Amino acid sequence: MQSAHPSNILGTPGSWGDIPRGASWRAALEQQLQPWWPKMYGYHLLKIGNLSAEINSEKCPISHQVNVGPHGGNLQVIADPYLLPFAEKSVDACLVAHTLAYAADPHRILREVDRVLIDDGWLVMTHFNLLSLLGIGKLVPVVRHRQPFRAQMFTQMRLLDWLGLLNYEVMYQSRVQVLPWCRQGGKMLSTHLPALGCLGVMVARKRTLPLTPTAKKIGLRKPSLSRAVGATKSYRDIP
């Protein structure tokens, strides 16, 4: 039986404008990613989801940037994120901006992204931090069914575990916007208490070798030393 579409479950927003204060949150994420775009090279950059499509990546040297999603006006390819219409290991970088937050099966999307990424390819991911004021809002019955509280929120450690299982090396991780209702997110609090930031950013690379290689233990067989036939024995006189 075909699984229900994520938008029917979590109310996937069509743009950052559909999320309260979404424009300022997008600007905060773009500022965090600015130093990393120039480091990515290759031929194809894939942006999965409507929110990813609106993230500014002009500083990325990858010229062919494709927006992919199930529906929307700012997309070049209309496709299911769970079944990307791209060959295995054909994409150099992939952006999933809050895509997992509105996915019914986040693990499946990560596995599909891993399938199309080349070896040493880049994965850029943003998310809502569960251990933040937004996470507390999910406990309030009046607002938990509204945006953005209805979205899934993850802790940093949980996402690190997922990436570790897929053998990704996290190059950068950060959290911003401690005060989600402020346009600047509370600069002082964001500086001294970044762990409480409502928005999380991760930049990782797909590795083909284990990140923590373990030396293979090889049992060395001791040579059997048997006396040669007919060999003379030397005796020492006991005093």
The angle, 0 to 180 degrees and rounded to 10, between the axes of the packed helices 106-116 and 156-165 is 40
pLDDT tens profile 210-238: 655 555 544 545 554 445 445 444 444 55
Pairing type for strands 44-48 and 64-69 reads: parallel
Pairing type for strands 91-97 and 44-48 reads: parallel
- Report whether pLDDT(197) > 50: yes
Q: How far is CA 108 from CA 70, 105, 111, 115, in A?
A: 16, 6, 5, 11
The residues, ordered by sequence, that sit 6+ positions from 121 with a Cβ below 8 Å of its Cβ are 42, 89, 91, 92, 93, 94, 205, 206
| Cβ–Cβ under 8 Å, residues 96 and 159 | no
Q: What is d(CA 57, CA 35) in angstroms, rounded to the nearest whole number?
A: 11
Q: Given this structure, which CATH class describes domain 16-206?
A: alpha beta
| Spans of all domains in the chain | 16-206
pLDDT tens profile 104-154: 999 999 999 999 999 999 999 999 999 999 999 888 888 888 899 999 999
Phi, psi of 143 (to 5 degrees): -115, -10
Q: What is d(CA 147, CA 128) in angstroms, rounded to the nearest whole number?
A: 12
pLDDT, mean of residues 187-215: 78
- Report whether pLDDT(101) > 70: yes
DSSP conformational letter for 192: H
The answer to which of 5-19, 67-81, 172-186 has the lowest mean pLDDT is 5-19
Q: pTM here?
A: 0.81
- Report whether pLDDT(5) > 60: no
Give the pLDDT confidence score for residue 32 in this predicted structure: 95
